[in-house]
């Protein structure tokens, strides 16, 4: 993807078959991505970006201020999050199967004595995936019925720059694994957001009207999600 510089701001420029120019400031470091119509001249692109520089710098500043967790070491005493609640990790070494139990603010991780850091992290990741998929399976039919759409398929995966995405043609929804760490109302907001894309592709006024009708407090939920602590290499949607 070609790069364009305007003053101190470096941008990734992506020309696409779209009608309007879109500017995105991506976490965690405030990288700027510009999606522009194929017919738009570079001069017009530069002028459009220059007009948005104050907004771009504010977004970059907000990312820089976003609270971040320290690097995870998978040792007893460090904090982990599930559904927005903080748990202290209690590492318990024993023979037998790996498992996780929650109790009174503690996340008990049972592993074998020789278990590596990578495998401890994998056990926790699989737990996040299980609880997230269970909750999505509960919410999805409720919201499909309310919105009047049907997702043919949905999946969970680690995503670098988004909390969720929707393939409109395939009617497939992807949800970020990290949502298991955030308050439940944040997951519901993202799920509704992606389902509404099956009604309206773009983030235009019609899209916002659908969101206002279906989930009147969606802006508050979005802001809550973006205030939550990030993992050291995490992102915001």
Backbone φ/ψ region at 105: left (φ over 0), alpha (ψ -120 to 50), beta: left
- pLDDT above 80 (res 67): no
Does residue 28 have a cis bond before it (omega within 30 degrees)? Answer: yes
Q: What is the mean pLDDT of residues 200-223?
A: 94
In this predicted structure, the answer to whether residue 2 has a pLDDT above a threshold of 80 is no
Instruction: Please give the average per-residue pLDDT across 39-57, as a whole number.
Output: 90
Contact 9, 53 (CB under 8 A): yes
Per-residue DSSP letters for 57-84?
Answer: HHHHHHHHHS-BPPPP---TT-EEEETT
4-10-13 Cα angle (round to 5): 45
C-beta pairs of 61-66 under 8 Å, 24+ apart in sequence: 63/25, 63/27, 63/28, 63/29, 63/30, 63/236, 64/30, 66/27, 66/28, 66/226, 66/230, 66/236
Give all domains of the chain, ordered by start, each with its CATH number. 3-65 (no CATH), 79-227 (3.30.2010.10)
Work out whether the CA dihedral 137, 141, 142, 143 comes out positive or negative.
positive
- Residue matched to tokens 């202290």: 88
- Condensed to tens digits (0 to 9), the pLDDT of residues 133-192 reads 999 999 999 999 999 999 999 999 998 778 999 999 999 999 999 999 999 999 999 999
Contact 104, 95 (CB under 8 A): no
């Amino acid at each position: 993807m070609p790069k364009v510089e305007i003053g101190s701001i470096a941008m990734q420029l992506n020309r696409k078959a779209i009608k309007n120019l879109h500017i995105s400031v991506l976490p965690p470091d405030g990288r700027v991505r510009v999606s522009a119509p194929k017919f738009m001249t570079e001069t017009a692109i530069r002028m459009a970006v220059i007009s948005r520089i104050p907004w771009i710098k504010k977004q970059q500043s907000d990312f820089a201020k976003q609270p971040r967790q320290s690097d995870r070491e998978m040792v007893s005493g460090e904090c982990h999050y599930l559904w927005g609640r903080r748990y202290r990790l209690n590492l318990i070494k024993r023979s037998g199967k790996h498992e996780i139990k929650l109790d009174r603010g503690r996340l008990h991780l049972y592993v074998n004595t020789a278990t590596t850091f990578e495998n401890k992290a994998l056990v926790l990741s699989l737990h996040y995936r299980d609880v997230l998929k269970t909750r999505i399976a509960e919410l999805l039919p409720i919201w499909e019925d309310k919105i009047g759409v049907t997702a043919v398929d949905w999946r969970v995966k680690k995503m670098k720059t988004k909390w969720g995405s929707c393939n409109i043609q395939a009617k497939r929804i992807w949800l970020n694994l990290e949502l298991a760490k955030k308050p439940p109302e944040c997951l519901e907001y993202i799920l509704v957001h992606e389902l509404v894309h099956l009604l309206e592709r773009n983030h235009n006024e019609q899209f916002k009207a659908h969101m206002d009708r279906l989930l009147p407090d969606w802006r508050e939920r979005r802001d809550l999600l973006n205030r939550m602590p990030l993992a050291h290499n995490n992102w915001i949607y």
